[in-house]
Chain A
Amino acid sequence: MKTVTAVRAAKRLPTIERARTGITGFDAITSGGLPRGRTTLLCGGPGCGKTLLGSEFLARGATEFGESGVLLSFEETAAELTANAASLGFDLAALEADGRLSIDHVNLAPADLAETGSYDLEGLFLRLGWAIDQVGAKRVVIDTIEALFVVLPDEALLRSEIRRLFRWLNERGVTAVVTAERGEGKMTRYGLEEYVSDCVIVLDSRVEHQTATRRMRIVKYRGSAHSGDEFPFLITDHGFSVLPLTSVVLGHGGSHKRISTGIPRLDGMLGGKGLYRGSSMLISGSPGAGKTSVAAQFAAAACRRGEQALYIAYEESPAEIVRNMQSIGLGLEDLIDRGLLMLQSERPTGDGLESHLVRLHQLVDESAPKVVVIDPISAFRGPAEDITALLQRLLDFLKGRQVTTLMTSMASSNETLELSGLGISSLIDTWITIRSIEANGERNRVIDVIKARGIGHSNQVREFVMTAKGLDLPDVYSDGNGIAVGSERVARETELKRRNLEEARALEHRRRSAAEERTAIEAQIATLQTKLTHEQALAGELEEAIVAIRAGEAAGRSAMAQSRNVGANKRRLPALDGRR
């Protein structure tokens, strides 16, 4: 909802109607496109893409927005323009044949030209006006009008005519783009920015660290809030791609759902449930620490949940990763075959950081993953602030899509380990380090959670083991100074087993003794029980005898009373002797 509100607020802001360009990312940074019915000045040095951007503006206008266009070119011929636009996937010739585009190449031949007396550029106005009428154009690109200054000597007249041209374009109601060359210390060589008050965009192409980076900046956009930021862009075979800095909004949803890291005991360290969906995790570690293994395990776990995973590897080929992961019992091939895992090897230094970012955007667009692994970010080359900016934009992009991201980072030593993540720490939600510890002639790995936003995480340093069965965090053996790892841990485990065994034996012995005692007692109980039964039987007989005697006595008294024959009781009592 946050994002929706932000977008609505942003949409209310502009007072000038926009003409959408359809150029990837461009409409986002201009809050909807170019000012409709106005003129935009597009400046930049040679080869920075002015003409191509203009061509794409017209081509997309015609194909996507039903607005025909005129391209008035002072430099390239229609054939050249068509060929160049074709490299971006636009067919200008077809648009021209359809009557949706008119290309007019103004051929200025200075050698054959003489000037005498006053003149104006009405010829240019007329031919442009005619072209606009021919195709019913709503969009016009003029590239590059400054060429006139080279041919026509009267600069004052040219300036006034160019000013008139801009006014005329506004009156015609066309959305126009006028390109101009960047000048020394000025925005344009002939100061055309003075005449354009609505929108000025500067393109820039720089070579930094042996890689070319292209950037775009909106210098001016009347009636509209605009960011003065430089936006990197790329010229791809699908046209321009401008990368907006979406972080200014920070409207990510913030899921409450948790997903497993693929290592149950690591999930245990992370509050028992693993990571938040859509969050970012950094695994930093020394070489050979097992970062890739953790990352692959994470990706595989996602695939096993039926989710799409994208793994971008900078240091190993897909085949190498598949092979290497077999050593920890992790089979990736099946996941790749099932189309769940996309393993992609990239060279981050082959092109500029920006173009690489575009490439990553494209990969994410194509595979629509739920989790993304970037292994490792330390492979990026360039100024730290550029890399940070790249990662920020990338993470913003991924978070915006609720993609959970795991990045690895290589630290050259344990000392630099914690530093390795500092520059981007603020971008990272969960940060885990894997260190290697050398002691007792061996090297072991320990893992700990440096931070985990919103997760009650363990503060323990745990041993991290990689075996043929997989990754695990074994039980902790603390000795007061730290945790026991490696063979020391194994020794302690063995000692503990021995102790347990001894104790078990002793207990067994006690158990047996107790059992014997119990048997004896039970035998005694049985004997006594028998005796008790006999006594009970005797007691019963005696009781019966007593009853019988009393009954006899009663009968005698009665008879006596009848016969007066008293006292002849000749009954004998049963003999008691021998009964006991």
Chain B
Amino acid sequence: MSGESPTMVSTIDPSSDAADWQLRLYVAGQTHKSAAAITNLRRLCEENLAGVYSIEVIDLVQTPELARDDQIVAIPTLVRRLPKPERNVIGDLSDADRVLGGLQISPGVAHAGAPRAA
């Protein structure tokens, strides 16, 4: 995210609105934690959800009202918007296994296009 102009929504892989996995990452400004979370998330998705995901990054410094609307407290917060139900993972996403567990991503899910039954 560093170097980008401060925009409300920064979408990586913008063509994937219809993606099976829609993830939203809430950050606050251009902090080390935010940058780490974005990097970690992008790598995780490429490794496990290649071609079936979209990531939306929301900077709450720019749009603080979304913190209330989306019930955000901790930063960074990753929200799995699809598939339902929503799940939240907080932190800089440095522990890949925990992130995968939190998002309930298991090997092969990318090809199946859906999470395993919880």
Contacts and interface: CB of A to CB of B under 8 A. Distances in A.
Contacts of B64: 126-127, 129-130
Interface stretch (A107-115, A192-200, A406-414): A107-115
Question: Chain A at the B interface: mostly helix, strand, loop or mixed?
Answer: mixed
A123 B60 contact: yes
Contacts of A104: 68
B74 interface: yes
A112 B87 CA distance: 5
B22 to A, nearest CB: 16
B16 interface: no
A121 to B, nearest CB: 6
A108 B89 contact: no
B60 A117 contact: no
Contacts of A119: 33, 74-77, 90-92
B71 interface: yes
Contact of B28 (A109, A115, A123, A131): A123
Interface string A90-133: 00000000000000101111001111111111111011011100
B67 A118 contact: no
Contact of A130 (B26, B33, B65, B89): B65
Given A114-B102, A116-B99, A129-B64, A123 B93 contact: no
B19 interface: no
B47 interface: no
B4 interface: no
Interface in B22-75: 26, 28, 33, 36-37, 40, 60-61, 64-65, 67-68, 71-75
Contacts of A129: 64
Interface in B92-111: 92-95, 98-99, 101-102
A130 B68 contact: yes
B93 A117 contact: yes
A113 B88 contact: yes
A121 B73 CA distance: 6
B88 A114 contact: yes
Nearest to A74: B73
Contact of A126 (B36, B60, B89, B91): B60
Given A112-B85, A115-B89, A120-B74, A127 B102 contact: no
B91 A116 contact: yes
A106 B73 contact: yes
A126 B66 CA distance: 10
A116 B95 CA distance: 6
B56 to A, nearest CB: 16
Given A112-B87, A115-B89, A118-B33, A123 B26 contact: yes
B75 A118 contact: no
Interface in A111-166: 112-124, 126-127, 129-131, 148, 152
Contacts of B95: 116-117
Interface in A387-443: none
Nearest to B34: A122
A127 B94 contact: no
B27 to A, nearest CB: 9
Contacts of B77: 119, 123
Contacts of A108: 73
The 3 closest A-B pairs by CB, nearest first: A114-B102, A117-B91, A130-B64
28 contacts: A108-B73, A113-B88, A114-B87, A115-B89, A115-B90, A115-B102, A116-B89, A116-B91, A116-B93, A116-B99, A117-B37, A117-B91, A118-B33, A119-B33, A119-B91, A120-B74, A121-B73, A122-B74, A123-B72, A123-B73, A123-B75, A123-B77, A124-B67, A124-B74, A127-B65, A130-B64, A152-B74, A152-B90
Interface of B: 26, 28, 33, 36-37, 40, 60-61, 64-65, 67-68, 71-77, 85-95, 98-99, 101-102
